[in-house]
Amino acid sequence: MEKQMTMSNGAKIRELREAAGMTQDKLAAMSRVDRRTVQRAEQGTRLQMETLSSLAAALGVLVANIIVNGARHEDIDNLDAKSLVVLNRIRSGMMLMNIVRDSYEGTISCEAEPTSENIEALSAVITKLESLMPQPWERPHQRLSFPLSERLKAAVEVGEQLRQLEGWGIAFYAGTYTARTQVPTWDGDHGEMFISSRTPYELVTICRVIVAHSGQGDRITTKANDIFVPTKPLSDASTENDKKPLDDEIPF
């Protein structure tokens, strides 16, 4: 089956890259693509949605922000239907831990076959990630304190275990996406976390970690049913609001 090809917004990608202080080589490395792909993206060419998703993740924006306006609505609808999330192969213990720790919440799943040979290293990494996974309903005093000194030691251990697992053909793939949800808050009077009808919806970062066979390459994709996709670009919405007449204002 032919993969979906979408026109990139070259000027926007270049603007975001330069604003982040990245070279084309750095963006390529963070996106797990080659430099030529970044150059093509900045020239405004048609690329696979998976590639655009990786570029968007590295730039810290939604895919909707780096595709051309003419194709935007069709592509966003398609992306929303597919709920595509790109997960990159992670070889760094610190990077893997940070992806989990810096998220609002997330999931860890294993598609690799556990064996008596790999189970010790496999369970050790997963146990560490599960201990770091944020729990939105966790009370403030229950939250794990993880000093930098301990984090550095743990990163070395996890990194060594990742390398050991790669020798057995097992890799950790991880990525994030944006969702919109009500975030529980702490009620000191009642001593519990709560959400009410007045609790506002906020944009949060969700992480996905999948343990899979390393033969799948440097990237895999998965689906999520709660990806936040704006109905129109924020810049367009802002422009429209700026042009809106103020006839509905009530004089006092």
Domain containing 71 — which CATH number? 1.10.260.40
pTM of the predicted model as reported, rounded to 2 decimal places: 0.68
Looking at the fold, whether 105 and 156 belong to one and the same domain comes out as yes
Nearest CA among 136, 132, 115 for reference residue 174: 132
Looking at the fold, whether 73 and 90 belong to one and the same domain comes out as no
Summarised one tens digit per residue, pLDDT across range 172-186 is: 999 988 888 999 999
Residue with tokens 């089956």, as numbered in its chain: 1
Looking at the fold, whether 100 and 223 belong to one and the same domain comes out as yes
Highest mean pLDDT among 37-46, 65-74, 140-149, 241-250: 37-46
Looking at the fold, whether 5 and 59 belong to one and the same domain comes out as yes
Last-in-domain residue among 82, 109, 124: 82
The mean per-residue pLDDT over the stretch 107-130 comes to: 96
* Dihedrals phi, psi of 53, to nearest 5 degrees: -65, -40
Looking at the fold, whether 96 and 45 belong to one and the same domain comes out as no
Summarised one tens digit per residue, pLDDT across range 46-77 is: 888 778 888 887 887 777 778 876 554 455 55
A 10 A CB-CB count for 15 gives 14
Looking at the fold, whether 94 and 60 belong to one and the same domain comes out as no
Nearest CA among 230, 132, 133, 221 for reference residue 180: 230
The answer to whether 220 and 54 have CB atoms below 8 angstroms apart is: no
Looking at the fold, whether 156 and 51 belong to one and the same domain comes out as no
Establish if 101 belongs to a structural domain: yes
Looking at the fold, whether 221 and 99 belong to one and the same domain comes out as yes
Q: How far, in Å, CA of 195 to CA of 65, rounded?
A: 31
Establish if 50 belongs to a structural domain: yes
- Structural domains counted in the chain: 2
Last-in-domain residue among 38, 58, 82: 82
Establish if 251 belongs to a structural domain: no
Nearest CA among 180, 229, 212 for reference residue 82: 229
Q: In 154-179, which positions are buried (b, 16+ CB within 10 angstroms) versus exposed (e)?
A: bbeebbebbebbeebebbbbbbbbbb
Mean pLDDT lowest among 86-90, 133-137, 224-228: 224-228
Identify the band that residue 21 occupies on the pLDDT scale cut at 50, 70 and 90. Answer: very high
Establish if 242 belongs to a structural domain: no
Residues listed for the chain: 252
Host domain of residue 102: 85-237
* Dihedrals phi, psi of 247, to nearest 5 degrees: -65, -20
Q: Which helix (H) or strand (E) holds 46?
A: strand 46-48
Establish if 71 belongs to a structural domain: yes
Last-in-domain residue among 28, 56, 82: 82
Establish if 246 belongs to a structural domain: no
Looking at the fold, whether 90 and 130 belong to one and the same domain comes out as yes
Establish if 248 belongs to a structural domain: no
Half-sphere exposure (CA, 13 Å, Cβ side) for 122? Answer: 23
- The alpha carbon torsion through 69, 73, 78, 83 (nearest 10 deg) reads 90
DSSP letter, residue 225: S
Looking at the fold, whether 225 and 153 belong to one and the same domain comes out as yes
Looking at the fold, whether 136 and 214 belong to one and the same domain comes out as yes
Looking at the fold, whether 215 and 109 belong to one and the same domain comes out as yes
Nearest CA among 90, 88, 6 for reference residue 47: 6
The pLDDT value given to residue 122: 98
Nearest CA among 172, 151, 175, 155 for reference residue 94: 155
